[in-house]
A = this chain, B = another copy of it.
Amino acid sequence: MTGTILAGKSGSRATLTISYPERRNALTILMWQELAAQVRALSRDGGMRCVVIRGATAEAFSAGADISEFGTARSTYEQVVRFHEEYVGGCLGAIAACPTPVVAAIQGACFGGGLGIAAACDIRIAAEGARFGAPVGRMGFPLALGETEALFRLVGPSVTAELLIEGRLFDARTACEKGLVSRVVEEDDFERAVAATVENICASGILAARSHKRQIQRLMRDATAVTSAERMEVYSFAESEEYQHGVAAFLAKTDRQR
C-alpha cells in the first residue's frame, strides 16, 4: 500500500484525510502534491464553507514527511529546495490561500510536516492523546525558514525555540497552554467536537467567514499596519445581499421581540 489523500465533500463542507496507516499517515511527495491539488480544487468552489484536514487513523494526524524518500528526493541541495519550496511550501501555501476556513482535526502524532500542515490551518482541535513536535535537528538539519516562519507567527519565539532548538514534544494540554492548538477535547468527544466546530464556522455568513480568514491571513503575512485602502475594501461587505438580508432579518427579529 502507498499513501493517499482521501477527499469527501458534503454540500458546503469537505474533509481531506491524510491516509498512510502503515506509516502513521506520513506524507510522501505525491501526497503533498495531492493535498495541495485537493485544497486548490476546493478553493475554486464558491459555495464551500469549511474544509477539515485530518488523519485516517486515531494513531496520527501525520507523523511528518515520509522518511524513506530522503535518499531519492532530499539528498542534494537542488532536491532539498524543490522539496520545501515546491512540495511542502506549495501545499502549505495552498491551505493559507484557501478562501474557506480550514480546520485541523488532530488525533495522535502531529510531527514535522504534519505540524506544518496543522499550523497552516485556521483552527486546530486536538484530542487528548495528540502529541506535537518537530525534532528535525536530531536528524541533522534545520526546519526550512518558511516553515519556521509559520510556526513563529502562530506561537512566537519562545515556543518555536522549544520545538526546534530543544526538540521538545508537547502533549495536547501543553500544546494548548502554549497556543499551538485552539482547544483539547477527550478522545470520545473528538468527532462530536470537530462536527460542532464545523457547524459553528458554517453558521457565519459565507462572505463574512471568508473576509475573516482573508483579514487574519493578511495580518499574519504582513506585519505592517493595515492601510486605509485595505480597510475600505473590507467595508464592501455592506453592499452584499448577505449583509442586507442579515440586517433585515435581525431587525425583524428585534421588532418581534418588542
Residues of A within 8 A of B (CB): 67-68, 70-71, 74-77, 79-81, 84-85, 101, 122-124, 136-146, 148-149, 152-154, 156-162, 164-168, 177-179, 182, 197, 200-201, 203-205, 207-209, 211-213, 215-216, 218-226, 230-240, 242-247, 249-251, 254
Which residue on chain B has the smallest CB distance to residue A251? B71
Interface of A (DSSP majority class): helix
- Which of B80, B167, B232, B235 is in CB contact (< 8 Å) with A235? B80
A179 touching B162 in the complex, CB below 8 Å, given contacts A144-B235, A238-B77: no
Which residue on chain B has the smallest CB distance to residue A224? B223
Contact present for A215 and B154 (CB under 8 Å): no
Q: How many protomers of this protein does the assembly include?
A: 3
30 sample A-B contacts, Cβ–Cβ < 8 Å, listed by A number: A67-B254, A68-B251, A68-B254, A74-B247, A77-B239, A80-B237, A81-B235, A81-B238, A122-B165, A123-B162, A124-B158, A139-B205, A141-B242, A141-B247, A142-B215, A145-B231, A145-B233, A146-B231, A148-B216, A149-B225, A152-B216, A153-B156, A156-B179, A157-B220, A160-B219, A164-B216, A178-B179, A223-B224, A223-B225, A224-B224
